Structure 1
């Protein structure tokens, strides 16, 4: 029933919008929609308001417009599509309009046309708006069918060198419906598309995709100042406050102009400006324009991506989110649907999570902060205003509650709680012992100096992320979390990270019966795939050599750079026969005995080593599947490293930093490393 109601509402909205946009045909007078409710009248109203605030005070975009214009001027005679993509409110329409109106551009084309598409476009209206730009008679067009309008538009463009701008496309089907309308007469005609979705640009086979960047601090300030003072100078006593306000908008033009509009209405005094500076996002929230423009992107998300996006509100402002951990949390939360991972030949949950993240990036909702060597996203972040959107939507739907003070026991008992305490230390949670958070299943702690105790009130938590909280002892309160207190009973547990610690830390400490069940050598923990930052020591070798963790695919081992650890490594590595990724930190060396290195490895990172023998590098070159090799901080001895033809057959990334050859050099023969695509800092090492 709800689905049917939603579809009916959508049809009604489309009909109303069609009537409004065709008011000239129907003889309807212009209505001042701004005099109505504060909510406006939907997408058209939002577009006009955004256009007003974005386009009237165009600042900067000089380099951006020059880049796009150069692409329009290229001598390729074929019809080419140039796409401008970016987050909502970033100025895509402003940039396209600036280019469209330039005399230089107008002089390049015999005819130009512009159409605003939007998410709920009507193909008939879109065609009519293009024909209107081409000076076609609207009286002749109003009775034509959609197919007849397409034919007429094609006729108007045929034989002309034209420029067409399709602004704010949300669906690839727009291109499906229009591609046949645009003739390619091999005369250098061009189409500009603006969109928040990279998918649209790729689908249209754009010859050039321009990712519109955020404004830098200086341009942000110029835009902010011009909106308030016009061509006059900002008083020197207000400039630092004004610059701070502009910077707090994080380079989003829409936010800068909206905030400047509010500041312009206030008294020009330090006192008034300081009050706004300290609460920029709150003031932006008072004008619903920014939130509603950004919310269009959220509303357009497929159902499976909405919880993944809202989950980003769990992190503090400006936080660089580690993608690996984020994807693991999505899986733990159940956002990766079971039916997807059980289907035959379906990707792994981790691969699906990566795809979901890529989709959020492609929709301009997530920014890439850093990338891995293989090109995948390593860390990401979201704009502060999008984070505010996550939090407001989450609070409304009881999805997440963010607590920034020590007031968790006053919350509304949400399903997920993010504790973003801003004080440098946390007291014991004794005051919370009687408080029940019976609905809370997820608890995420942000950075802090310590975490003394977990409250009894969170005993039903199933997902716990302590992030970068520093713990100097095992938290006694962990035993109160009945779903998490016995690690070896967690059948779905796959990844364990205990930084720079002994493997014994995670061994059972319960009663005699528990110890018997977990007797070393008799128990196999099949589900664990990752062990992070475990010390190289005899106990580690004993546990791993007894195949206690038979399905490990990723291991980080840490040493103290002591020579005796080499022998221990020799007892550990041969038993990791399914290992895909190995990281060694602060080790003396790696033993040269045969069959030590797991042949299944695709990535090896060795950081802070004393010395490695050149023959070991030769041994690594024999690994058939090795794709990434990283060496940081150490010495290679034993003469030249000779890479013969066929060595490192799959190596794609070789990264070395502060690595020194004691008495030799690297020699690479033709045919070695045939797949290499990235090589960092090799200037002192590699020679032909």
Structure 2
């Protein structure tokens, strides 16, 4: 093995870092520097590596095409979909898998959920060095990922070659996934309306990156929508949202607390209702049988507005309460979740101030499969932590602002048997 001349070490480290572990990038970079030990040349490569790489597509397209052709057919559209994002864009794994599902790339395998199959696809692409993990969750799962610039360039070329997602090309999807479609986002931001005839076949409407005044009423006529994400000053959907019979994911960021109309439960395909902010109310009304069978995510909702829901959500996996969680007697209080056999993640954000330390609830209120629990502003006395200590499958416990109060927390050896992550916010 050769020794790198001292004057080239710094540039060599920069080049190595910019290759980001992609084998093909390393090979190309090595070809660029191997015949010259000039410090100036190495510095030039280090500062403009990508420009050198993409200046002659022939040196990488054939190799990438070979890797792509060896991909199982089920993974190809998922990989090419990365061309829809800007270069160097770090995408949330949750968002990515939801978008794959909305596009119809993921199909159920026997009794497995689409989301579980999508996660397998993601890990397969990572193992093949086609995706890079950027951030990792506290429990070790991948939180965000992205692709190398060379792969992004290849995705764009290959997608165009195969007329991949042709409708999305027509609507400018590949200009920026930060707002899709880009021209529609600009129109709505300026107070314009949606031309339904132009977008009637659209499956994804992602307006999270821009702030609009009210929930876009015209969107309810886009009956092919499967994924709808908005950032709104007043995010309360109109009752007519039930017209979106194919909607699977609804993501709302709102400056005001919102009211979710009871008609939303007529969307039988809804899998994720993800409200990112506020203390939000579920409108009274008992869902019809089977209406919530697909629901897996429900977040940022007032606990007292959900009593009629949980007996009809057999597949709910993620739940977040935001609202009064402390009774007038100082007890932690929320609907009994014991029947939610698949619930794995629960967030409790209390908005009711209580002057003294509070008492926890009976452990039977929690589902047996619960793995992740986050509490905030609950003011629970440390002595009451036994409630959480005996949850049989708890792996992650996050105690955020004023989650617990007191001077000392004493635990026994037999408590928290499966806990892997404990996060304390002082």
TM-score under structure 2 length normalisation: 0.73
1:561–1:609 CA contact under 8 A, matched in 2 = no
CA distance in 2, matches of 1:337, 1:225: 48
CA distance in 2, matches of 1:591, 1:401: 57
1:370 aligns with 2:144: no
Residue pairs, 1:283-362, within 5 angstroms: 284=54, 287-338=57-108, 341-342=109-110, 347-362=112-127
Deviation at 1:530, TM superposition (A): 1.9
Deviation at 1:425, TM superposition (A): 6.5
Query: How large is the Cα RMSD of the aligned pairs?
Result: 4.5
1:91 aligns with 2:37: no
Question: Where does the alignment leave 5 or more consecutive residues of structure 2 unmatched?
Answer: 1-7, 174-178, 249-262
CA distance in 1, matches of 2:213, 2:42: 42
Residue pairs, 1:196-215, within 5 angstroms: none
More helix by share: 1
CA distance in 2, matches of 1:286, 1:64: 21
CA distance in 2, matches of 1:524, 1:63: 56
- Please name the residue that 1:432 is paired with: 195
Deviation at 1:400, TM superposition (A): 2.9
Please tell me whether Structure 1 or Structure 2 has the larger radius of gyration of its CA atoms. Answer: 1
Partner residue of 1:528 out of 295, 299, 303: 295
Q: Which structure ranks higher in relative contact order (CA pairs < 8 Å, sequence separation ≥ 6)?
A: 2
CA distance in 2, matches of 1:586, 1:362: 41
- Please name the residue that 2:224 is paired with: 461
- Mark the CA change 1:472 to 1:296 in structure 2 (over 3 Å): closer, same or farther: farther
Partner residue of 1:646 out of 411, 414, 422: 414
Residue pairs, 1:658-673, within 5 angstroms: 658=426
Residue pairs, 1:152-191, within 5 angstroms: none
CA distance in 2, matches of 1:441, 1:521: 26
Cα deviations by residue, 1:2-48 (Å, 9 ceiling, x for unpaired): xxxxxxxxxxxxxxxxxxxxxxxxxxxxxxxxxxxxxxxxxxxxxxx
- Please name the residue that 1:149 is paired with: none
Deviation at 1:308, TM superposition (A): 0.9
Residue pairs, 1:22-41, within 5 angstroms: none
Residue pairs, 1:555-634, within 5 angstroms: 555-559=319-323, 564=328, 569-573=333-337, 576=340, 578-587=342-351, 591-595=359-363, 597-634=365-402
Deviation at 1:364, TM superposition (A): 2.1
Cα deviations by residue, 1:383-441 (Å, 9 ceiling, x for unpaired): 3443343334334434336989xx94x99xxxxx94245859723443724x4345433
CA distance in 2, matches of 1:420, 1:336: 25
CA distance in 1, matches of 2:242, 2:335: 34
CA distance in 1, matches of 2:423, 2:73: 40
- Mark the CA change 1:599 to 1:443 in structure 2 (over 3 Å): closer, same or farther: closer
CA distance in 1, matches of 2:79, 2:321: 34
1:493 aligns with 2:260: no
2:336–2:365 CA contact under 8 A, matched in 1 = no
- Mark the CA change 1:609 to 1:311 in structure 2 (over 3 Å): closer, same or farther: same
- Please name the residue that 1:539 is paired with: 305
Deviation at 1:305, TM superposition (A): 0.5
2:133–2:146 CA contact under 8 A, matched in 1 = yes
CA distance in 2, matches of 1:648, 1:312: 40
1:420–1:446 CA contact under 8 A, matched in 2 = no
CA distance in 2, matches of 1:559, 1:320: 32
Residue pairs, 1:274-285, within 5 angstroms: 284=54
- Mark the CA change 1:395 to 1:457 in structure 2 (over 3 Å): closer, same or farther: farther
CA distance in 2, matches of 1:315, 1:564: 49
Partner residue of 1:390 out of 152, 155, 160: 155
- Mark the CA change 1:523 to 1:635 in structure 2 (over 3 Å): closer, same or farther: closer
Deviation at 1:556, TM superposition (A): 0.8
CA distance in 1, matches of 2:67, 2:384: 52
Partner residue of 1:636 out of 404, 418, 426: 404
SS in 2 for 1:462: coil
Deviation at 1:562, TM superposition (A): 7.2
CA distance in 2, matches of 1:388, 1:634: 48
CA distance in 2, matches of 1:524, 1:306: 33
SS in 1 for 2:333: helix
1:438–1:457 CA contact under 8 A, matched in 2 = no
Question: Where does the alignment leave 5 or more consecutive residues of structure 1 unmatched?
Answer: 1-57, 67-83, 103-220, 228-242, 259-283, 412-416, 508-517, 659-688
SS in 2 for 1:370: strand
